[in-house]
């Protein structure tokens, strides 16, 4: 079977009606969201992501050790003071999910929350 490369980036396989793209689809770019944890809040306090699209979450702690746990989507991160941790996560369901600090950080620990809105 002969293969011809056209300028449009499409391969035409002669003898067949099959068209194949010249390059494999470029790896879908991963959105990166930076979150800063500090007593007793996350900045930003809300994030928006799309179901099925990978997102890299970067969490840094400015003052003490912090965590971020979304029980409903099985996502948890722990980060030490002055450090940044990253995790790639692909949401698999739509909804609004509340994440909470999972590392005791002081008297306001229970109020430290972040909302993740997952849309289609």
We report the CATH number of the domain holding residue 67 as: 2.60.40.420
**pTM (two decimals):** 0.74
Contacting residues for 11 by C-beta, under 8 A, at least 6 apart: 3, 4, 5, 19, 20, 21, 22
Q: Does the pLDDT of residue 14 top 80, yes or no?
A: no
**Residue keyed to tokens 């002055």:** 82
- Is there a domain that residue 16 lies in? no
Q: What is the pLDDT of residues 51-96, one digit of tens each?
A: 999 999 999 999 999 999 999 999 999 999 999 999 999 999 999 9
- Is there a domain that residue 21 lies in? no
Q: Find the domain containing 105 and state its range.
A: 31-119
Yes or no: say if 33 and 75 are a contact pair by the CB < 8 Å rule: no
Q: How confident is the model at residue 28 (pLDDT cuts 50, 70, 90)?
A: low
Cα torsion 60, 64, 70, 74 to 10°: value is 80
Task: Kindly report the backbone phi and psi dihedral angles of residue 36, in degrees, each rounded to the nearest multiple of 5, phi listed first.
Answer: -110, 125
């Amino acid at each position: 079977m002969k293969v011809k490369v056209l300028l449009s980036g499409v391969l035409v396989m002669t003898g067949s009606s099959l068209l194949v793209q010249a390059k494999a689809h470029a790896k879908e770019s991963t959105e990166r969201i930076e979150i800063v944890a500090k007593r007793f809040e996350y900045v930003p306090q809300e994030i928006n992501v799309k179901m099925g699209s990978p997102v890299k979450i970067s969490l840094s702690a400015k003052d003490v050790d912090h965590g971020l746990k979304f029980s409903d989507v099985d996502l948890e991160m722990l980060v030490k003071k002055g450090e940044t941790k990253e995790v790639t996560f692909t949401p698999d369901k739509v909804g609004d999910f509340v994440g909470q600090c999972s590392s005791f950080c002081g008297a306001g620990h229970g109020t430290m929350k972040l909302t993740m809105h997952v849309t289609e």
